[in-house]
A and B are shown apart, each in its own frame.
Chain A
Amino acid sequence: MGRMETNDQAAIRAVLCGDRDAYAALVAHHSRSVFRVAYRITGNEADAEEVVQDAFIRGYRKLESFESRANFGTWIYRIAVRCALDKVGRRANEHQQTTIPIDAEPETIQVPDRTPSPEDFVLSGEIGAFRESAMHSLTPLERTAFTLRHMEDCSMEEIAAVLEIAPNAAKQAVYRAVHKLRQRLALLKVRT
């Protein structure tokens, strides 16, 4: 067990003995890695900040169920991913009316007011923004599974464990995400 993990365990024991301030050390050690994954999943700084806070609050409340042999960093990372998934899910519901149906014919796309068209992105040179828009076309589960596989380099087994789904379901989520993203990118390439 490394020095960092030893310190984490000591801090957890102190918190459970009533020293609330000992949790500050855990927050300090892990907040940046939690922010990184939260930002990658939500794609939004403000949402990522909320996810970081939610994750540490949720972690604090569940600290009694934390197994002393486990790694706190991994544990809080998983909580953060689930918080981010919830956040993306809520955002998806809020914007359900404004998304472009992926299977619609390009000629018949009804571009909503709040979602720029591929041409807008090309004209403004914001290819990166188009990619971000393509990410938003995924379901929350697909987006999270793809982010964990493609950007966080998690294995399919790890993704399944974090999202509490079967390994095959994790694979299918990644496949669907890649398929949809490629369709979106193809659309962009045709227009340019």
Chain B
Amino acid sequence: MNHLSEEQLIELYYSEDGPEAARHLDTCPECARNYEGLQADLGDMKPVQPPLRNETYGQQVWESIADRLPAYTPPKKHWVLRPLWLGLSAAAACALLVAAFYAGRMWEHRQPPVQSAAVTKPVPPAPPRVVVVVLSDHLERSERFLVELKHASADDDELALPLRDEARSLLAANRTCQQEAEASGDPVLTKALDHLNGVLTELADHPGGLNAEAIAKLRQEMDAEGLLFEVRVLRSRIPDHEASIHKHGTGGIA
């Protein structure tokens, strides 16, 4: 009879070997004894329990490395094509919104009035899926814009013009989203979009023209960093909302 090698026994211990080796142990006392010895030895090598680290450990690690991490530079070449693309995407978004609106109106008119004896609990109307998608895109663009605003250098006037153009482009989409937010009765979203509207308006139509100094001042006065946080929070809510639409077919933006 061929006995099992140590490698086969190790494979068996880590469940990497097939049932053949296990069956062999039932009929071979010597291999069974060897396997018991292996089990005992590896049982002695208990997993090391690392020292506990508390909730603030991640923050401590971050503080110890933050100074060694240079910020990534957003790719500037996109600025050349961005106004064209943004204009096209904003136009497409608006067209989708209008189409969704009229499709909804026509669908409502064609439905016969439903008369039911049972009184059901009224549920708030779900925004069309296209609205959610447009809002998601808008918030993503706004987040990128605010990140660029946050990192705009106070002595680099070259950024002023692209930021102004971007603000103007975003302004139109933001107003559309504001109307949708007001209609859906979502106070958090409405407030954030109002705040965003203020920042965009100041940047888009700054009296006397926009320069690096004015950008820095507006950033401070309009609390652009706080707005960036608000936008991120809103963006994190979007996936849940989409899921809720699929699941229930009802619900607000929240």
Give 1 or 0 for each of B62-82: 1 = CB within 8 Å of chain A CB: 101110111111100000000
Q: B57, A43: Cβ atoms under 8 Å?
A: no
The reply to whether A27 and B41 contact each other, CB–CB distance below 8 Å, is no
Q: Is A110 an interface residue (CB 8 A)?
A: no
Tell me which of A14-22, A67-75, A85-93 binds B. Answer: A14-22
A115 at the interface (CB under 8 A from B): no
Residues of B within 8 A of A178 (CB): 6, 10, 38, 41-42
Interface of A is mostly: helix
A92 CA / B234 CA spacing, docked (Å): 50
B235 contact set on A, CB distance < 8 A? 10
For the complex formed, measure the closest distance between the CB of B237 and the CB atoms of chain A, giving whole angstroms: 11
Contact residues of B between 1 and 51, Cβ < 8 Å to A: 6-7, 10-11, 14, 16, 38, 41-42, 44-45, 47-48, 50-51
A60 to B68, CA, bound (A): 10
User: Interface size class for chain B?
Assistant: 35 or more
* Contact assessment for B147 and A31 in the assembled complex, using a CB-CB cutoff below 8 Å: no
Looking at A19, A43, A179, the one whose CB has the most chain B CB atoms below 10 A away is A19
Q: Is A39 an interface residue (CB 8 A)?
A: yes
Q: Check if B47 sits within 8 Å of A19, measured CB to CB.
A: no
B interface list, Cβ under 8 A from A = 6-7, 10-11, 14, 16, 38, 41-42, 44-45, 47-48, 50-51, 53, 57-59, 61-62, 64-66, 68-74, 143-144, 147-148, 150-151, 232, 235-236, 239
